[in-house]
Amino acid sequence: MVVKRLIPAAILVAALSIPPVTSAHAEADAESLVNALNAVFGKHAGQRAAHTHGVCVKGSFMPTAEAASLTKAPHFNSKTPVGVIGRFSMGGGDPNASNAQKDNVRGMALHFDIGNGSTTDLVMISAPVFNARDPDQFLALLKTVETKDKDKIAAFFKANPNTTRQAEWLNARPVPASFATVNYWGIHAFTFTNAEGKKQIFKYKALPVGGEAGLSDAEAKAKDPDFYRPELKERLAKGPAKFTLTAILGEPGDPLDDPTAFWPEDKRKSVTLGRLSITGLEDDKTCDAGIFDPTNVVDGIEGPENDKIFAIRSPAYGVSFARRSK
Ligand code: HEM
């Protein structure tokens, strides 16, 4: 579609909003954001409005003792592996988004089984920043992209440089060779509380145990657009795909309300929270039966108070779920 040629897919993708300069009339709510996603990517009956192209997986998570010192959350205090259902995805609402896209995020969404039929969720993307500061900025971005007007789109990015950071970051890196060979970030600043009541602000980051692996542009171009699913199946037949889940610890002054702002990761302490092992593919219906909800946290973990993108995600996912469940 024309839009794709004009704009990095990452900008159309996963987490969305737009700045005040051009968004004087934008009044984003969950419904208007999902409508705008549908307008950009098309309506696809029975499918997600974003991160449409994906694959459901299963596995387990084993926390470290250090995780328990940071939080009383049950999955970080378990003495035995915690069951996990997950979904890897391409950003954006195109059900046929090519796995070879460079300027698009990969998603990793997880349900941790915390017993008694309850889960807690963690949703991450393969970049440290989102492409909008708040829902109005995301709506303005989507509405501008929807016009397919090259000049308007260029003007929007010029006026809203924070919305291009994610695409710039992705374009400076190779296409991930697999869903299992790229780092993922939780984007928002969460707060852990431990058994003594001590609080710690942090951001999630998951790193493949075998390290990152990417493709050259020529290699990526030669790939089938749907190569990740068979690649994952083949990989998992040989053994689990393992990730180290970490917490990057925040320090005073780190931005807590702007998901387009980088944290100086190399200057921050990182704590290993545990080992995620993806062991096999799971029926996609298991993942489609509900939403992966970033606000579905447990005692011992809190989401950010003033991050407007974080606040609107759960309702937006609810709208998408209601529509795809009809
Ligand atoms: C205003 C901002 C955002 C909006 C409107 C939005 C919208 C959506 C929607 C509608 C879905 C599909 C939900 C469903 O039907 O289950 C979705 C999925 C997803 N979003 Fe967002 N999103 C936003 C921000 C973000 C951010 C900041 C991240 C970064 C972690 C993110 C990562 C994901 C991922 C990984 C999925 C796929 C979940 C799955 O596999 O089911 N999104 N998003």
* pLDDT tens figures, 207-250: 999 999 999 999 999 999 999 999 999 999 999 999 999 999 99
- 23, 44, 51: which to mutate for ligand 1, most atoms within 8 A of CB? 51
CATH number at residue 84: 2.40.180.10
**Residue 138 in contact with ligand 1 by CB distance below 6 A:** yes
Mean pLDDT (whole number) for 129-150: 98
Higher model confidence: residue 25 or residue 164?
164
Question: How large is the average pLDDT for residues 70-96?
Answer: 98
What's the CA-to-centroid distance between 325 and ligand 1, angstroms? 16
Report the domain count for the chain.
1
81 C-alpha vs ligand 1 centroid, how far in Å? 27
- Answer whether residue 14 shows pLDDT above 70: no
Q: Measuring from atom 36 of ligand 1, which residue has the nearest CA?
A: 51
How many beta carbons lie within 10 A of that of residue 62, not counting itself?
16
Name the nearest CA neighbour of 276 among 248, 246, 242, 247: 242
Question: What percent of the chain stands above pLDDT 70?
Answer: 92
Pick the atom of ligand 1 nearest to 323's CA: 15
Dist. CA 197 → ligand 1 center (Å): 31
Strands 214-215 vs 106-115: parallel, antiparallel or unpaired: unpaired
The tokens for 177 are 């060779």
Q: Counting atoms of ligand 1 from 1, which one is nearest the CA of 52? A: 12
Q: Is 309 in the pocket of ligand 1 (CB under 6 A)?
A: yes
Give me the pLDDT at residue 25, please: 53
Are 138 and 18 within 8 A, CB to CB? yes
Which amino acid residue places its CA nearest to atom 22 of ligand 1? Answer: 15
Mean pLDDT of 120-126: 99
Any ligand 1 atom below 6 A from CB of 166: no
3-state secondary structure the chain: CHHHHHCCHHHHCCCCECCHHHCCCCCCCHHHHHHHHHHHHCCCCCCCCCCCCEEEEEEEEEECHHHHHHCCCHHHCCCCCEEEEEEEEECCCCCCCCCCCCCCCEEEEEEEEEECCEEEEEEEECCCCCCCCCHHHHHHHHHHHHHCCHHHHHHHHHHCHHHHHHHHHHHCCCEECCCCCCCEECCCCEEEECCCCCEEEEEEEEEECCCCCEECHHHHHHCCCCCHHHHHHHHHHHCCEEEEEEEEECCCCCCCCCCCCCCCHHHCCEEEEEEEEEEEECCHHHHHCCCCCCCCCCCCEECCCCCHHHHHHHHHHHHHHHHHCC
Domain holding 82, by residue range, is 2-324
For residue 92, report the distance from its CA to the centre of ligand 1, in Å.
Answer: 9
Beta carbon of 17 within 6 Å of any ligand 1 atom = yes
CB within 8 A of 31, min separation 6: which ones?
319
pLDDT of residue 27: 85
Question: Could you tell me if the CB of 10 is within 6 A of ligand 1?
Answer: no
Mean pLDDT over all residues of the chain? Answer: 93
Asked if pLDDT for residue 313 goes beyond 80, the answer is: yes
Q: How close is the Cα of 295 to the center of ligand 1, in Å?
A: 12
